[in-house]
């Protein structure tokens, strides 16, 4: 069963809610969060690590408008079910891959690749095919649609 927001500590709730968007750029972001939340930087880092270890969050980092800094593409692969987990791990190991996810479709593994240049992107896509031994389909963005992926988690008064 999925965790309810009530299952999270007040610090976890603040980290999950308050830092989804509009974070200021800083050389010390975790120290800044700690100061705002009146806890130590170490406590912020420990709490974020716990959320990651528990699978609540996958990463902490910026999201840039596509193709404004470097280039990116959505990619899809048709992977036999028995190889899906192994291939997903290989793909996730590439630092240029933001995330990957399974879909119920012939093309069942999808991921976003971001690189510094079109040439670098092509190299990464080729390397992914070489390492996984499966072909991929690159689906570069043609039109830009903004979708706010943040969501407000609400705690109820009762559990």
pLDDT in tens, 21-45: 777 788 999 999 999 999 999 999 9
Checking if the pLDDT of 58 tops 90, the result is no
157 pLDDT exceeds 70? no
- Is there a single domain that holds both residue 129 and residue 98? yes
Domain holding 119: CATH number?
3.30.70.3460
Provide the residue range defining the domain that includes 32: 5-53
Residue 81 to residue 33: CA distance in whole angstroms: 41
Number of domains in the chain: 2
Tell whether 92 and 129 lie within a shared domain: yes
- Average pLDDT score over residue span 93-119: 91
Here the contacts of 54-57 (C-beta below 8 Å, separation 24 or greater) are 56/3, 56/8, 56/12, 56/16, 57/16
Mean pLDDT to the nearest integer, 61-82: 82
Within a domain: residue 147? no
The pLDDT of residue 68 is 64
Report the C-alpha gap between 61 and 23 in whole angstroms. Answer: 10
Instruction: Say if residue 75 is in the same domain as residue 47.
Output: no
More confident call, 96 vs 3: 96
Sheet with 71-77, edge to edge strand ranges: 97-102, 109-115, 71-77, 137-139
Q: Is the residue at 117 inside a domain?
A: yes
């Amino acid at each position: 069963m999925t965790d309810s927001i009530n299952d999270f500590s007040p610090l976890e709730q603040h980290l999950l809610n308050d830092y989804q968007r509009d974070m200021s750029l800083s050389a010390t972001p975790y120290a800044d969060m700690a100061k705002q939340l009146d806890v130590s930087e170490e406590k912020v880092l420990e709490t974020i690590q716990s959320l990651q270890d528990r699978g609540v969050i996958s990463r902490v980092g910026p999201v840039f408008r596509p193709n404004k800094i470097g280039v990116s593409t959505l990619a899809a692969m048709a992977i036999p079910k028995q190889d899906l987990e192994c291939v997903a791990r290989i793909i996730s190991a590439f630092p240029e891959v933001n995330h990957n996810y399974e879909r119920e479709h012939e093309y069942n593994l999808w991921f976003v690749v971001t690189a510094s240049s079109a040439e670098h992107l092509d190299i990464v896509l080729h390397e992914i095919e070489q390492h996984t031994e499966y072909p991929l389909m690159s689906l570069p963005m043609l039109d830009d649609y903004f979708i706010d992926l943040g969501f407000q988690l609400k705690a109820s008064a009762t559990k």
